[in-house]
Amino acid sequence: MAEVMWGLATSHVPSIGAAMDRDKTQDPYWKPLFDGYQPAREWMAEHTPDVALIVYNDHANGVDLDIVPTFAIGTAERYRVADEGFGRRPVPDVVGSPELSLHLVRSLVDDGFDLTVFQELDVDHGLTVPLSIYCPDPGDAWPCAVVPLLVNVIQYPQPTAARCYALGQAIRRAIATFAPDVKIAIFGTGGMSHQLAGARAGYINPIFDKWFLEAIESDPQALAALTREDLIRQAGSEGIELIMWLIMRGAMNTTIRRVHSTYHVPASNTAAALALFDNRVPQPV
């Protein structure tokens, strides 16, 4: 049977990808962030999944404002790396896992989550930067297949934190009924606190971030109880991306083990973080 190996919560800021693409990871600005990634990268390199389910949001690259799906999933065999207006990132295109995607669609719809289905999708930095954080040197191909799961975090009203956590729990149930013996990693991407537009641009809330970074492991219910307004106020209008971490968390076991985490300000206009969790640990009886 399928099983979830590990979960990775991580920022997906485009400039983190650009720093890697332009060989700037040792610059004084970027070095602390990339040094912080290292222990997690080493552990993940020894625990290669067959498929990564990447929960992310598009930023006006694969999807526009004609159609704004609250939750959507890709079912394609391949996903092209999007040209976001300055050429494609020099990273491999993404190979899908239609079998797992279609299983998830069936299971999740039966479980009350009516996802929009993308048969074709260009994936932007929201998906490729987390892949690069996991695997900085993929060569010609990423080490695993990918199922993209998109969340509307751009246009208000975004789904609630509670709904995201519940979707994660439904994904956990769906994976438990996927017969093939595949190992799955779940990525919850975005955050942490940041605001891009308006008079509050540049807002960072390290106290909230550190609480969230701890509670994502130990008290996800407290995070799921946050309202949209709480999140926008405390994490900034783009910091609401953190709801995507709850989908990852919901898909994991009650007890998980923190392998490594790191927090750094700034990455562009954001507080950046990574938290890696091992899902295969003894559970309370």
Partner 1 sequence: MSEPTDTYVFDGETSRRGYRMNKMFMSLRDAPARERFRGDEQAYCEEFGLSPEQRKAVVERDWQAMLDLGGSIFYVYKLAMIDGKSMQYLGGVFTGMTEEEFVAALRRGGRVDG
Q: Which residues bind partner 1 (CB under 8 A)?
A: 29, 59-61, 64-66, 68, 82-86, 154-157, 193, 195-206, 227-229, 232-233, 236-238, 265-266, 268-269, 271
Catalytic residue, candidates 12, 103, 194, 260: 194
User: Has 194 been annotated as catalytic?
Assistant: yes
**Looking at beta carbons only, is 25 or 160 nearer to partner 1?**
160
**Looking at beta carbons only, is 172 or 233 nearer to partner 1?**
233
**Looking at beta carbons only, is 180 or 206 nearer to partner 1?**
206
Minimum CB separation of residue 152 from partner 1 in Å reads 11
Minimum CB separation of residue 256 from partner 1 in Å reads 29
Between CA 259 and CA 262 the distance in angstroms is 11
Output the DSSP codes for 88-115: B-SSPPEEB-HHHHHHHHHHHHHTT---
**Looking at beta carbons only, is 49 or 159 nearer to partner 1?**
159
Report the C-alpha dihedral over residues 6, 11, 17, 18, rounded to 10 degrees. -170
Between CA 13 and CA 15 the distance in angstroms is 6
Between CA 50 and CA 144 the distance in angstroms is 5
* Residue 98 burial by Cβ neighbours in a 10 Å radius (0-12, 13-18, 19+): middle
User: Has 47 been annotated as catalytic?
Assistant: no
Between CA 52 and CA 5 the distance in angstroms is 10
Minimum CB separation of residue 217 from partner 1 in Å reads 24
Minimum CB separation of residue 65 from partner 1 in Å reads 5
| Residues with catalytic function | 125, 194
